[in-house]
Structure 1
């Protein structure tokens, strides 16, 4: 929701205080903070100063953000690694940190979550033809961001 007259913050301290409050509420990526400050009408040169102060004072930490994002999307929304990776890329998190964040997801938990997702979907799929049924389950898991080889392994090892 855009306003006709966006807030214009020209004072560095005001921008810093507001950004600190924004970051204290939940983990943020640098890009989210940058976008929010543009929304507030903060001047470009002030934005970069504020970002570096937030990093120095540990309000912003890209690695911490990436780990929290990956963990929460996996635990709460049951997203697969592909979808989590896409989400982090949209937040402009560096690839190195994305890899670290994805490595934090326990493989056993990951496989269990995929199996549970497929079992839940299998209960609602009405298709009787085995190949069509398997395809529908596979497509559902793909749409949730799981890797096709992992999906095929789970489908092969379970009668769904």
Structure 2
């Protein structure tokens, strides 16, 4: 079993490489053998240290998938939902996408 400090350092490095959501980090922690209490402590510390932010993740994910993969709003919303992003955050990310320079209607 890994120590809490070791797991925290691994998750900080994991989050520093790319935007991550809480669900992705929690899945990684469980794969590493962390129990629920340890997962929650590490996740809370990552949020406090701003390594982890679901809203920031949702905006970045929506922008990247729309611009680089050509996904539409429905597909993006579905994938964010699979990652357990709250509906209000998904709506905000999609509305920010609608307000940008490259609107989905323009692509059509």
TM-score by length of 2: 0.93
Aligned residues: 106
1:109 partnered with 2:103? yes
1:28 partnered with 2:25? no
Distance in 1 between the 2:14 and 2:33 partners? 15
* Aligned partner of 2:73 among 65, 69, 81: 81
Distance in 1 between the 2:75 and 2:43 partners? 27
Distance in 1 between the 2:98 and 2:39 partners? 37
**RMSD of aligned C-alpha atoms?**
1.1
Work out which structure has the larger RCO, using CA pairs closer than 8 Å and 6 or more positions apart in sequence.
Answer: 2
TM-score by length of 1: 0.64
* Aligned partner of 2:44 among 44, 48, 52: 52
Gaps of 5+ in 1: 1-7, 116-160
Distance in 1 between the 2:95 and 2:78 partners? 15
Runs of 4 or more, structure 1, over 2 Å off, are 106-109
